Structures are given as structure tokens and as C-alpha cells.
Structure 1
Amino acid sequence: MRRIILSTESGADLPSDLAEEYGVQVVPMHIIMDGKDYLDGSLPVEDIYDYYERTKKIPSTTATNVHEYQELFTSIRENDPDCIIVHVGYTSKASSSFQNAVIAAEEFEDIYLIDALNVTGGLAAIVVYAAQVLKKEPDIEPERLVEKIESVVPKSRLAFIPGSLEFLKAGGRVSNMASLIGTLLKIKPCIELKNGKLMSTKKYRGKMSGATEKLMNDYLSEFNIDREQLYFIYSIGLDESIKQRMDEVAKENGFENVRWIQAGGMISTHSGPGGFGVAGLEQ
């Protein structure tokens, strides 16, 4: 039986131990800072925050390009010439990365491309699901695996609270006035993935500790998340007491496994320090 190999982008924030365990190939996206192009993952996240403190600007981010996908697919095939590649990609509604993968794949055979319509932990949840299916059914037909993955794409639910309205403002994601009002009233927007697009939905007032708990309550009320696995996403700077409380809330709600995922450079560039998110798959 031909081996199936999974791949995804760094914007999935897939922890390295899980990527290694399941043999998932991760291709980096890009962060542009001080006129230099850094591969996502090669730059400490703290450098992004330091850059903002110095310049009051945030770095820009760019997609994985066609050539990089060609190199990825070629490298995978060189190591395993007879393999089948299943690429689970970063939402096409927020980046050109997936379309670049589509273009690159035209030069290869037996590559399946799935638009996960999600980012960070929401994308990681889909990738891990795919990896676990493949582990349980190593002889699964690729078409059947793709069918299973596509069936959970609309069930992956991600919601997060950015750590800094200043980062949203600097990135042009909210107006100056909206940011000022938000700061004065201590309003924290909830960002969710809706049909692959990042959208501001609810707003929480008060400290981050209270906002995160409200987010969790709303998230669990709105979505019937599979209790077998839950993902918490955080950007550097989130208070440890909030992490402890979120673990307690997850346990109180019957989750068997909770995995904390640190937001990498790509996501942290948009969310700022101290952000919190939750992701899981609906039953």
C-alpha cells in the first residue's frame, strides 16, 4: 500500500512534537520585518513584540509561495517516491497560500489539496484529526481519507481574543477611534472563523481573566465540541493564572485531553502578546 504523507503550513501552529509524531511536513509562511524576510518559526516571537515597541508598527506577513510548495512536494517525493501527499492548508479566505499550493501541485501527480478554511488551532485540530485517522487506518484509500477530512472542516471551531488592540490598530484591523473606545472601556473583541474568514463577533468588557472565561462559556454553549480533545491557543504574555483557570473550566466541562498551543510568529503578528483562543471539533 502506498504511504500517505500529510503536510500543512506554519500558520497551523502545529506543535513540533505532534508534527514529528505523525510525520506531518510543515512549510513556513513569511514575516517581513525591518526590511528582512524571515521564515515563520525561525524568528523568536519576542522579536516581533520588541519590533512593535520600537517602531509602533507590526511586521507584515506573506504566504508560502509557489516555488516553496514545489520544493516541499519535491522533497517529500525524493524521500518517498511512491507516496501520496495530502495537504491540509491555511484558509484561502485570508491568504494566497492555498492557491499557491494549488498552482504548485499542477506539476505533480497524486497530491490532494484541502482548504481547511481555518488558522492556528482550528487548522491544527483538522491536521491532527487527519493524522489520527491515518494512524488508525494506515491502509485507508486516499479518497476516503480526503472525504473524512473534508467532513470535519466545517466542524472545526476557533474563537480567540487578541492580546492587544494596539496590534489590531497597527495592522489596520480596527479604526483608531474603535481602538481608543475599546481601550477606554476595556472591551476585548472575540474573533471567530466564519466560512474561512476572520470576523469580529462578540465583545467582552473587563479584564482578560474575565473575558477568557466568558469566551469559554459562550464557545461551549454555542458549539457541541467533541470532549475527547480541546485545544487552547495562547500568545506569549498570557497570565499563568488564566491558563490554570482555563484548564479547570475544561475539566469541569468533561474534556479528556487539553493541548496548549503557542501562537507562532504568523499568528502573533496579528494577535499581539497575551492573546487566548480555543479550538475543537464539533461532534
Structure 2
Amino acid sequence: MRKIILSTDSGADLPKELVEKYQIQVAPMHIIMDGKDYLDGELSVEEVFEYYNRTKKIPSTAATNVQEYHDFFSKIRSDFPDSLIIHIGCTSKASVTFQSAVIAAKEFDDLFLVDSLNITGGLAAIVMYAAILLEHEPSIDHNRLIEKIESFVPKTRLAILPGSLDFLKAGGRVSNLVYLGGALLKIKPCIELKDGKLVSIRNYRGKMSIVAEKFMRDFLNEYNIDRKLLFLIYSIGLDESIKNRMVEIARGKGFENVKWMQAGAGISTHAGPGGFGVAGLEL
């Protein structure tokens, strides 16, 4: 029986212990700061925030290119000879990363691609459900596994509450007028993935401790998320008391496994410090 290897992009923000436990291969994207190109993971989130505090500029991000994917897939084949590779990539509607993987994959046999139409915790949820399914059914046919993974995609739910509008403004993602109004009224936009694109769907007003709880309850009331696994996402700076409260709410809703994951440098350039998000698969 041929071994199935799962791979994904660093934009999944998968915790290191899960990457190691399930032997998930991760292709790094790029962070560009002060004209220098870093692989995602080489640059800490603290350095991103320190750079912004010093310059009022945010680093830019760049996709993994075709040659890098070719080298990435080649290494998997070298490390796991005669393996079948299933690559679950970041949304094709927000980055050229997936298209680069598609081009590189043409050089390989038994390499299959799945467009997650998601990022960060949403992508992580799909990858982890696939990894857990493969763990429980190690002899599953790869075509059946791919069908299962693709069935997860439209059921994936991700919502993000940025910690600061400063980063959205610095990145040109909100106008000065919206920024000033939001800052004065302490408004925090709720951003969800809809059809592979980030969309602001509603606004919350008030302190993060109050807003985060309302945001969390709204998400769990709107979507019937599978109680087996819930991802909670934070960017550095989110208060520990808020994190503890979010776990209490999730446990109260019957979630068996609540997994915190730290937003990497890429998503942190959007969310800023103190951001919060939640992701899972809808039943």
C-alpha cells in the first residue's frame, strides 16, 4: 500500500506539534520587509509588529513560486519514495500561490491538488480533518480521500476579528474615512471567507473583551460547527483572559477539542496585534 502524504502552505498557520504528529509537509510563502525577502517562519510576528511601530509600514507578502513548489514536491518524493501526495493549498481567489502549485504539479505523477478556498484556521481545519481521517483509515483509497477533502471545502467556516484597524489602513485595506470613523467609535469589523474571498460582513463596537465574546457566540449560533474540532486563532497581543473565556464558551457549546493557533506573519500583517478568529467545519 502506497503512503499518502498531505502537504499545505504556511498560510495554514498549523501548530508545529500537529505538523510533526501527522507528518504534514508545509511549503513556505514569503514575507518582504525592508526590501529583504524572508521565508514565512524565518521572521517572527514580533519583528513584524516592531517594524510597523518603528516605520508605520507593514511588510508585504508574496506567493510561493513555481520553482519553489517544484523543489518542495521533489523533496517530498525524495523523503517519501513511491508516495502519493495530496496538496491542500491556500485559496486560489486571494493569491497566485495555488496557480503556481498547479503549474509545478504537471511535472509529477500521483500528485493531487485541492483548492481549499481558505486561509489560516479555515485551511488548517480542512488539512486536519483530512489528517485525522487518514489516521483513522490508513488504507483509504486516495481518490476517496480526495473526494472527502473536497467535500470539506464548502463546509469550512472562518471568521476573523482584527485587533487593530491600523494594520488594515497601513495596508490600504480601509479608507482614511472608514479608519477614522472606526477608531473614534471603537468599531471592529468581522471578516469572513466567502467563496474564497475575505469579506467584511458586520461590525462590532466596544472593548475587545466584550466584542470577542459576542463575535464568538454569533459565529457558533450561525453555523452548526462539527463539535469534534474547533480552531481558535489569535495574533500576539490578545489578552489571556479573553483566550480563556473563548475556551469556556467553546466547552460550554460541547466542543471536544479546542485548538489554539497563533496567526503567522502573513495573516498578522492583516489582523494586527490582538486579533482573534475562529474556524471549523459545518455539519
TM (norm. structure 1) is 0.99
* Structure 2 counterpart SS, 1:212: helix
Q: Percent of aligned positions with the same letter in both sequences?
A: 68
Q: Distance in 1 between matches of 2:278 and 2:170?
A: 24
Report the counterpart of residue 191 of structure 1 in structure 2.
191
> For residues 74 and 229 of structure 1, what CA distance do their matches in structure 2 show?
32
1:84 aligns with 84
Point out where structure 2 has 5 or more consecutive residues left out of the alignment. Answer: none
Q: Is 1:210–2:210 an aligned residue pair? A: yes
**Match in the other structure for 1:66:** 66
| SS class of match (2:14) | coil
- TM-superposed deviation, 1:229: 1.0
Pairwise CA distance, 1:79 = 1.7
Tell me the equivalent position of 2:163. 163
Secondary structure of the 2:204 match is strand
Q: Which residue of 2 aligns with 1:140?
A: 140
1:217-267 CA distances to partner (integer Å, 9 max, x unpaired)?
A: 110111000111111000000011100111111111111110000001111
> RMSD in angstroms over aligned alpha carbons?
0.7
Deviation of the 1:211 alpha carbon: 1.0
CA drift of 1:80 comes to: 2.1
Q: What amino acid does structure 2 have at the position aligned with 1:142?
A: H
Could you tell me which residue of structure 2 aligns to residue 229 of structure 1? 229
* SS in structure 1 at match of 2:250: helix
Per-residue Cα deviation, 1:40-80 (whole angstroms, up to 9, x for no partner): 11111100001111111100000111111101110011122
Would you say 1:181 and 2:171 are equivalent positions? no
Residue 279 of structure 1 is matched in structure 2 by: 279
2:263 is aligned to 263
| Runs of 5+ consecutive residues of structure 1 not aligned to the other structure | none
Q: Supply the distance in 2 between the matched residues of 1:12 and 1:80 (Cα, whole angstroms).
A: 22
1:114: how far off? 0.3
Q: In the alignment, what sits opposite 1:110?
A: 110
Q: Tell me how many residue pairs correspond in the alignment.
A: 283
Q: Which residue of 2 aligns with 1:150?
A: 150
- Look up the equivalent residue of 2:21 and give its one-letter code: E
Provide the C-alpha distance between the structure 1 equivalents of 2:55 and 2:158, rounded to a whole number of angstroms.
Answer: 31
Q: Aligned partner of 1:276: which letter? A: F
Cα distance in 2 for partners of 1:281, 1:126 equals: 8
Superposition TM-score, scaled by structure 2 size: 0.99
Distance 1:130 1:27 in 2: 17
Q: Give the SS at the match of 2:82.
A: coil
4+ runs of 1 displaced by more than 4 Å? none
Aligned amino acid, residue 187 of structure 2: I
Give deviations 1:82-107, integer Å, cap 9, x for gaps.
11100000011111100000000011
* Deviation, structure 1 residue 81: 2.3
Secondary structure at 2:270 match in 1: helix
